[in-house]
């Protein structure tokens, strides 16, 4: 695509400095350094120059309500206000939401930016400004259920964007593809039974959040895989299970929950993927998008906790999205 002789990058990169300010305490694996690792990799490799950078806006609460109950949204906002008062009075800097998940005074804004990135990416892709997009955001989203924050997640960025695409652009069919090592239980909770959406995923099982294997709704294709499964086996699973369902569904837009914690170097899980596997998976998704979705893909960062492996995997994912 050219614009008056100037080449316009076809892959958008959405992030915001607010996403660095949310943190859950010393030593927590879901940390701001994850985004630093990605940014450093883009700089060192020069890949960042090939991407169209966007500042993520804050999501409108009305759009978050497409996927979440008002009470859930209000309680997170109220908890933030309470914590701010506590901090100003010399109290603790964090408050727990679940045993693994806590907020600081910046979490609310970061969560709005993360969802806002997915929404703005959807708008930019639908407008034809870019072909596809990657949202380098945190907190992640795929464990956030309609009425519950959990598993490092507060708002379900991908589910919000998928619901928004259906409503705002009157699309008939959207696909959500989740390759995080953990089952995207929140996305399933929000999208199950909505036949306009198809969700396909693989995930280590049995493993947190101990779900996804019990009679899922007909629009969910969950493939539990055993610990120590290697990339070639995952590729075969994708070819045999995901591809026929995606091709039959003919999605008009594709959303990716891009978790990179199934990497063999990531000790958050015990799967054996490497960068080349993420490149291959992304190629297969791009193939489907080109055939049915006018190339329209919005990918959002989920897990990936070993900074070096995360950065290399995101690079591999982005190179395929950007066709480099």
Q: Catalytic site residues?
A: 143
Q: Which of 319, 307, 309, 300 is nearest to 15 (CA)?
A: 300
Cα distance from N-terminal residue to C-terminal residue, the chain: 14
Q: How far apart are CA 170 and CA 175, in angstroms?
A: 14
Q: Is the peptide bond before 139 cis (omega within 30 degrees of 0)?
A: yes
Q: How far apart are CA 247 and CA 291, in angstroms?
A: 9
At 117, which helix (H) or strand (E)? helix 107-126
To the nearest 10 degrees (0 to 180), the angle between helices 107-126 and 70-88 is 140
The CA distances from residue 250 to 162, 173, 200, 256, 297, in Å, are: 15, 7, 13, 16, 13
* Of 19, 250, 316, 254, the residue nearest 121 (C-alpha): 254
Alpha-carbon gap, residue 234 to 247, rounded angstroms: 18
Phi, psi of 175 (to 5 degrees): -110, 145
Give the dihedral sign, CA 203/205/210/216: positive
**CB-CB contact of 105 with 24 (8 Å):** no
DSSP category for residue 68 = S
Q: Are 108 and 77 in contact (CB under 8 A)?
A: yes
Tokens of 318: 């982005």
Residue with token string 């100003």: 88
């Amino acid at each position: 695509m050219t614009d008056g002789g100037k080449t316009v990058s076809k892959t958008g990169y959405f992030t915001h400095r607010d996403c660095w300010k949310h943190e859950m305490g010393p030593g927590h694996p879901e940390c701001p350094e994850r985004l630093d690792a990605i940014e450093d990799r883009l700089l060192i490799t020069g890949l960042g120059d090939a991407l169209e950078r966007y500042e993520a806006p804050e999501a409108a609460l009305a759009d978050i309500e497409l996927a979440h109950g008002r009470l859930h949204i209000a309680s997170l906002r109220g908890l933030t206000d309470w914590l701010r008062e506590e901090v100003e009075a010399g109290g603790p800097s964090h408050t727990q939401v679940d045993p693994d998940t806590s907020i600081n005074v910046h979490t609310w804004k970061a969560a709005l930016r993360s969802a806002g990135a997915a929404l703005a990416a959807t708008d930019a892709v639908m407008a034809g400004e870019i072909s596809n997009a990657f949202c380098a955001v945190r907190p992640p989203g795929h464990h956030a259920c309609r009425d519950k924050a959990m598993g490092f997640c507060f708002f379900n960025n991908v589910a919000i964007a998928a619901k928004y695409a259906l409503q705002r652009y009157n699309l008939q069919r959207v696909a959500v593809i989740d390759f995080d090592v953990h089952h995207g239980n929140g996305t399933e909770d929000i999208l199950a039974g909505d036949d306009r959406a198809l969700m396909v995923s693989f995930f280590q099982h049995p493993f947190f959040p101990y779900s996804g294997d019990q009679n899922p709704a007909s629009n969910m294709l969950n493939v539990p895989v055993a610990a120590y499964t290697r990339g070639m086996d995952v590729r075969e699973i994708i070819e045999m299970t995901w591809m026929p369902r995606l091709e039959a569904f003919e999605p008009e837009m594709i959303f990716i929950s891009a978790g990179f914690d199934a990497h063999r170097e990531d000790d958050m899980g015990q799967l054996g993927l490497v960068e080349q596997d993420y490149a291959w998976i992304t190629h297969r998704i791009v193939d489907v998008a080109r055939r049915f979705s006018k190339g329209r893909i919005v990918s959002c960062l989920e897990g990936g906790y070993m900074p070096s492996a995360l950065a290399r995997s995101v690079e591999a994912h982005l190179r395929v999205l950007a066709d480099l």
